Amino acid sequence: MEVAKHWRETPERYRLEAGKCSKCGKISFPGRLICPECGYREFVIHKLSGKGKLDTFTIIRTAPSGFEDLAPYAVGIVELEDGIKILGQITDCDPETLKTGDKLVAKFRRINEDGKTGMIYYAYKFVPDVGI
Amino acid sequence: MVGIVGYGTQIPRYRIKVEEIAKVWGADAPSYKKGLNLNEKSVPCPDEDTATLAVNAARNAMIRAGINPKDIGAVYVGSESHPYAVKPTGTIVSEALGACPYVHTADLEFACKAGSEGMFIALHLVKSGIVKYALGIGADTSQGAPGDALEYSASAGAAAYVMGADNLVAELIDTHCFMTDTPDFWRREHANYPEHGGRFTGEPAYMKHVSGAVRAILEKTNIRPEDFNYMIFHQPNGKFPVQMALKLGFKEPQFRHGLLTPTLGNTYSGSSPLGLAATLDVAKPGEQILMVSYGSGAGSDAFIFKATKRLDEVRNLVPLVRKQLDEHKIYLEYGQYAKFRHKILKPE
Amino acid sequence: MRDVAIIGIGMTKFGELWEKSLRDLAVEAALKCLADAGTDRIDSITIGCMTGGLFNGQEHLASLIPDYLGRRNTPAVRVESACASGGMAVRAAFMEVASGMSDYVLALGVEKMNDVSGDLATAALATAADGDYEAFHGINFPGLYALMARAHMEKYGTTREQLALVAVKNHRNGALNPHSQFPMEITVDTVLKSAGVADPLCLFDCSPVTDGAAAVLLTTVDEAKKLGKQPLVVISGIGAATDTIALSQRKDILKLEAIELAAQRALKMAGKTIKDIQFAEVHDCFTIAEIMVIEALGIVEPGQGGPATAAGLTALDGKFPINPSGGLKSKGHPVGATGVAQICEAVTQLRRQAGKRQIKNAKTALTQNMGGSGGSCVIHILEAK
């Protein structure tokens, strides 16, 4: 039962909401209570664009439990237009054809589920930005 | 005056061809293709479901609408494949859009008509003045039993409509419903696949309800078939809507743009809403559009819209239906398809 | 602060030890350590263990281990910093002795990983990543290191073969170590043709799942001299540092900042530079890790880890031997025990007791132990006096 644990992350996972430091402007995702750049403690919500380019990636062939049916699948670090990097799966593609530098865009997808009868966990994944 | 403020769609990238399915079941692909006017269908990625398709379609609709999500007063998601039996899809969509918490939401189910029901409620709720904007979404990852005729057509996709009273891309002229209790297709609780009445799904079901709704709205509005620039009927296959349209006096150029089934399959609750979206993608200001859904069980909702000038301004803000349908397709073999659709038995 | 010496070391065999439990392993390593030290005195115990809870359903090792070691009333504490737990336990023991709080402190590392399936072991290890923003998305440690490996290959031209050569070299060393889990020599082909795990890493780029324990006994240099220990092995420097838990939040994922800082701190404390060090035991949880760590330690320039490995710099007979024990790759990686086992190897070398894998004239050593994808690190400098 990880219901509350997932639900608590809804702003980040469903809407890509980050925290922007009110003093130095550093964007933190997920949000924090203390700015890692300047130590300031006030933030405004910053909605990430979800658009960026692939910084580095791997193709997971031996998957962690709960992800076996997706293998082989790509996970990468994406450098967003907002200037920060986030990690996520890259779906809707043949992972063998991915290249670093590829343009990607965030979509809303299923990440995992708590068995066949449990909660379904939704969040962002990235897809190639091919205009569809 | 109320109508559509923004619309958006999402179609999965994966496809399977009729031949690939027919090969497995020893069926005659050419007769299916010709008989159903169907070449291939969309298949959801394993990480897509009704909620994700609805959210991604709704995000596109919101971009075209250009409104603040907090101004959305209602969200209705119509589907026969809601991810949960109990727990709304609408809350997921509302939360993902940033519309919570002052929003009314409901999940709708009426076979393939659930999407247009959401549109119907959204339009009339706006018209009543209770909410500023309301979303009506049709989304499905529909299931056809392996080897059944439905397996060739049951596909996935979503269309979302932001309804409002200002900044319209299409003005609502009128609506009309036609509904009876006609059991042509159903799925019981806990059943994996729907069952249907075979040829009973035709004349007494689809044909009767679609034509009933069309005749009623034409009579009510005093508009003739030839007065429409475009028309969309629900598309369980590529044959029924064409037969019906021709019989009611419509011509091919009127339904050409909205007829998506031959390469999309039947997206159930997304079917006629997706056809309408593809039509809005080409409609010019002032043109009139007739859309008629059909849901087994059975009923039809008819809508008449008139495109406005704003349509041209917002159309290209997000991908067009034909682009999602025709470009960057990834074809699956039946084995992959069976895995994607959880048709392979695995140990618990 | 008092000077601290290591007067005893003890290790179990590393491997799939089906007949031995978590407590059996801990007790065996401790007893070997006490026998090696030639004393029975333990004033306090520090225990490095990443997650007895997830691997064995057993926490509270601070009670379990003294109890089963026959030291029921001895104070003990468990130290956790993922795969750096062992090294951090030694650091905690050092601080107790150096501060004057205790005179004889046993630092023990243990992990019993084979009591759960491979799936669950991987899941347990994944708790050392950012659970909500890494593991949640279906990435595990091979995957995280693979992200670094691809970036390293693309930025510096590091090759797949150079990565494989780390494993080849460590298995060559490990074949000479009686404690090794996989004491067999392998070839570049063995690595490249092994099953894909997370591109570009294959199975033989990864350290194994291992059961094992290791222990060291620390006391003051004065006490050690009284016991007549010769050669006297002292801990002359310790440095520890941390970094972001999530790999994606690093400014440069090819910069292991915690390792750089820990090394600077340890060397400064010892009054040395990396040039004064003769060999190192480093945390080669994956082949790419060893390459990046020797760069972070300043043994080679950034980007030169691969070519240096291929040129034999880090081989047993090279200019700067790395992982004479066989490393995590061949010796095995019982996570909580690893940092302690590295120190056992360094002491063995400094005492000139390493047999066929003995490094000539070994006098100064460095051990580097890290947690997660480099989110925490502890480094020890050891010297034979």
Q: Which of B20, B48, B112, B196 is catalytic?
A: B112
CA B291 to chain centre: 11
Specify whether C195 is located in the same domain as C281: yes
Specify whether A76 is located in the same domain as A29: no
Specify whether A73 is located in the same domain as A106: yes
Residues in chain A closer than 8 A to B323 (CB atoms): 131-132
Contact between residue A118 and residue B61 where contact means Cβ atoms under 8 Å apart: no
A contact chains, 3+ CB pairs < 8 A: B, C
Specify whether A36 is located in the same domain as A64: no
- In-domain check, residue B67: yes
Specify whether A70 is located in the same domain as A82: yes
Number of domains in chain A: 2
- Please report, rounded to a whole number, the percentage of residues in chain B having pLDDT higher than 70: 100
Mark yes or no for CB contact B52/A107 under 8 Å.
yes
- How open is the CA angle A8-A10-A12, to the nearest 5 degrees? 110
Q: How far is A123 from chain B (nearest CA, A)?
A: 9
Q: Residues 45-84, chain A: which have Cβ within 8 Å of C?
A: 55-67, 70, 72-73, 75-77
B80 in catalytic set: yes
Specify whether B180 is located in the same domain as B139: no
Specify whether C159 is located in the same domain as C220: no
Residue C53 has what pLDDT?
A: 96
Specify whether B244 is located in the same domain as B289: yes
CA C32 to chain centre: 19
- In-domain check, residue C155: yes
| CATH number for the domain that contains residue B328 | 3.40.47.10
C contact chains, 3+ CB pairs < 8 A: A
Determine the number of helices (DSSP H) and then strands (DSSP E) in chain B. 13, 14
Specify whether C42 is located in the same domain as C75: yes
pLDDT category, B117, cuts 50, 70, 90? very high
Specify whether B271 is located in the same domain as B315: no
- In-domain check, residue C361: yes
Residue C227 has what pLDDT?
A: 94
Chain B interface, best mutation among A13, A51, A108, by max B CB count within 10 A:
A108
- Our answer on whether C and B touch (3+ beta-carbon pairs < 8 Å) is no
Chain C interface, best mutation among A35, A77, A126, by max C CB count within 10 A:
A77
Facing A107 at nearest CB: one of B51, B56, B83: B56
**Domain limits for position C164:** 138-207+236-384
Residues in chain C closer than 8 A to A76 (CB atoms): 147
Among A11, A32, A47, identify where a domain stops. Answer: A47
Specify whether B41 is located in the same domain as B132: yes
Specify whether C190 is located in the same domain as C55: no
Q: Residues 241-280, chain B: which have Cβ within 8 Å of A?
A: none
- In-domain check, residue C124: no
CA B37 to chain centre: 18
> Which of B252, B244, B246, B257 lies closest to B294 in space, CA to CA?
B244
What residues contact residue B250 under an 8 Å CB cut-off, 6+ apart? B225, B228, B231
Facing A70 at nearest CB: one of B13, B46, B328: B46
- In-domain check, residue C123: no
For the stretch A62-96, pLDDT in tens is 999 899 999 999 999 999 999 999 999 999 999 99
Chain C interface, best mutation among A3, A5, A37, A56, by max C CB count within 10 A:
A56
B45 in catalytic set: no
Residues in chain C closer than 8 A to A58 (CB atoms): 139, 143, 146-147, 149-150, 198-201
pLDDT, mean of residues B245-255: 97
pLDDT category, A1, cuts 50, 70, 90? low
| CATH number for the domain that contains residue A98 | 2.40.50
Residue A96 touches chain B, beta carbons under 8 Å: no
Specify whether A4 is located in the same domain as A42: yes
Specify whether A89 is located in the same domain as A132: yes
Q: How far is A130 from chain C (nearest CA, A)?
A: 23
Q: Which of B177, B234, B257, B287 is catalytic?
A: B234
Q: Residues 41-80, chain B: which have Cβ within 8 Å of A?
A: 45-49, 51-52, 55-56, 59
Specify whether B95 is located in the same domain as B242: no
Residue A2 has what pLDDT?
A: 83
Number of domains in chain B: 2
State how far the Cα of C113 lies from the Cα of C237, in Å rounded to an integer.
31
Residues in chain B closer than 8 A to A95 (CB atoms): none
Specify whether C312 is located in the same domain as C325: yes
Instruction: Give the DSSP per-residue string, B98-158.
Output: T--SS-EEEEE-BTBTHHHHHHHHHHHHHHHTS-SEEEEEEEEE----TTSGGGGTB-EEE
CA C207 to chain centre: 12
Residue A112 touches chain B, beta carbons under 8 Å: no
Task: Compute the mean pLDDT over every residue in chain B, rounded to the nearest whole number.
Answer: 97
Quote the tokens at residue C323.
């992982």
Among C192, C226, C260, identify where a domain stops. Answer: C226
Quote the tokens at residue B206.
């689809």
Specify whether A80 is located in the same domain as A130: yes
ipTM score here? 0.97
Specify whether C219 is located in the same domain as C250: no
- In-domain check, residue C95: yes
Specify whether C148 is located in the same domain as C241: yes
Specify whether C378 is located in the same domain as C286: yes
Specify whether C59 is located in the same domain as C144: no
Specify whether B13 is located in the same domain as B151: yes
Determine the number of helices (DSSP H) and then strands (DSSP E) in chain C. 14, 11
Q: Which of B48, B80, B117, B287 is catalytic?
A: B80
Mark yes or no for CB contact B330/A94 under 8 Å.
yes
Specify whether C273 is located in the same domain as C347: yes
Among A47, A68, A84, identify where a domain stops. Answer: A47
Specify whether B7 is located in the same domain as B131: yes
Contact between residue B10 and residue B57 where contact means Cβ atoms under 8 Å apart: yes
Quote the tokens at residue A101.
């530098």
pLDDT at C119 over 90: no
Number of domains in chain C: 2
Q: What is the DSSP letter of A122?
A: E
- Our answer on whether A and C touch (3+ beta-carbon pairs < 8 Å) is yes
Specify whether A6 is located in the same domain as A53: no
Residue B328 has what pLDDT?
A: 96
Specify whether C264 is located in the same domain as C145: yes
B contact chains, 3+ CB pairs < 8 A: A
Distances in Å between the Cα of C86 and the Cα atoms of B263, C47, C141, C368, C372 are 60, 7, 19, 11, 13
pLDDT at B348 over 90: no
- Please report, rounded to a whole number, the percentage of residues in chain C having pLDDT higher than 70: 100
For the stretch C229-245, pLDDT in tens is 889 999 999 999 999 99
Quote the tokens at residue B127.
């018209």
**Domain limits for position B156:** 3-169+311-340
Specify whether B24 is located in the same domain as B131: yes
Instruction: Give the DSSP per-residue string, C321-368.
Output: -B-TT-HHHHH---HHHHHHHHHHHHHHHHTT--GGGPPTT--EEEEE
Mark yes or no for CB contact C247/A66 under 8 Å.
no
Distances in Å between the Cα of B116 and the Cα atoms of B119, B155, B169, B328, C89 are 5, 17, 18, 28, 65
The region that residue B26 occupies, defined by phi over 0 for left and psi between -120 and 50 for alpha, beta otherwise, is left
For the stretch A47-58, pLDDT in tens is 999 999 999 999
Mark yes or no for CB contact A132/B11 under 8 Å.
yes
| CATH number for the domain that contains residue C11 | 3.40.47.10
Q: How far is A131 from chain B (nearest CA, A)?
A: 6
- In-domain check, residue C126: no
Residues in chain B closer than 8 A to A14 (CB atoms): 92, 95-96
Specify whether A95 is located in the same domain as A70: yes
**Domain limits for position A91:** 49-132
Specify whether B154 is located in the same domain as B18: yes
Specify whether B151 is located in the same domain as B218: no
Specify whether A11 is located in the same domain as A65: no
What residues contact residue B110 under an 8 Å CB cut-off, 6+ apart? B78, B117, B295, B297, B299
Specify whether C249 is located in the same domain as C366: yes
Specify whether B26 is located in the same domain as B109: yes
Q: How far is A108 from chain B (nearest CA, A)?
A: 6
Specify whether A67 is located in the same domain as A6: no
Specify whether B99 is located in the same domain as B217: no
Q: How far is B70 from chain A (nearest CA, A)?
A: 14
Facing B92 at nearest CB: one of A116, A122, A128: A122
- In-domain check, residue B39: yes
Among A11, A28, A47, identify where a domain stops. Answer: A47
pLDDT category, B346, cuts 50, 70, 90? confident
Mark yes or no for CB contact C138/A61 under 8 Å.
no
For the stretch C190-228, pLDDT in tens is 999 999 999 999 999 999 999 999 999 999 999 999 999
Chain A residue closest to B12 (CA)?
A92
Residue A16 touches chain C, beta carbons under 8 Å: no
